[in-house]
Amino acid sequence: MDITTCATLAKLLGAFFYYPPNGQEVKPLITALLHIDQLTEWSNGLLISEQCQILADEVTNPELDYQYSVLFEGQGSMPTPPWGSVYLDEEHLLMGESQERYRQFLQQQGLKLTSGINEPEDQFGLMLMAFAILLENNKPEAAQQLITDHLLIWSALYLDRLKVNDVSRFYRSLAIIAEQYLMLLPTT
């Protein structure tokens, strides 16, 4: 997969893992998401096409914003927290040592993520978008380091949990697509 496609897919997936599904940031991206199966040569194209159909069926679900809120903002107990430190740090809390290491990495790369939301930078969608920025800024080594040292060490556990969540078919499908995307990335 070429760098432009790799960055485009990371931004697209990152946006849907970060912003609410009816938010102004992602509304213009819905068509691209529903046809993500056509944006690259997937290892399992049939699986991705099936997930695109589920996304298309679910994108108009009136409960989708609520589902997002449960999974990403925390309505009550959060079944699948999207922050790396929850999975990596001994006490499973936000803002732990792994988050601090990731923040230092971003600072070394000259990246300051300003989303307007006060939350840790190690949010899954934000990390995908940071990966895309590094690729677009012609920093492939830093992009690779972000993936291997900061994202892949916890993302499989997160995506596995999201794939079996009982809250949202939309986000189960999105997790499957993200997992397939990460499998396309070189890890060395």
The pLDDT assigned to 36 comes to 97
The pLDDT assigned to 75 comes to 72
The pLDDT assigned to 82 comes to 95
**DSSP string over 56-111:** HHHTT-TTHHHHHIIIII-SSS-SS--BHHHHHSTT--TT-HHHHHHHHHHHHTT-
- Please report, in tens digits, the pLDDT of each residue of the chain (188 residues total): 899 999 999 999 999 999 999 889 999 999 999 999 999 999 999 999 999 999 999 999 999 999 999 999 877 778 899 999 999 988 777 777 888 899 999 999 998 876 666 678 899 999 999 999 999 999 999 999 999 999 999 999 999 999 999 999 999 999 999 999 999 998 75
Within 13 Å and on the Cβ side, how many CA atoms surround 74?
A: 6
- Domain residue limits, the chain: 3-184
For residues 18 and 79, give the distance between their C-alpha atoms in angstroms, rounded to a whole number.
Answer: 16
- Contact of 26 with 16, CB cutoff 8 Å: yes
What does the block give as tokens for 13? Answer: 């997936």
Of all residues in the chain, the percent with pLDDT exceeding 70 is 96
The pLDDT assigned to 122 comes to 93
Q: pTM higher than 0.85 for the full model? A: yes
What would the pLDDT profile of 98-115 be if each residue is shown by its tens digit?
888 999 999 999 988 766
The residues, ordered by sequence, that sit 6+ positions from 9 with a Cβ below 8 Å of its Cβ are 1, 36, 39, 40, 181
The pLDDT assigned to 155 comes to 97
The CATH architecture assigned to 3-184 reads Orthogonal Bundle (1.10)
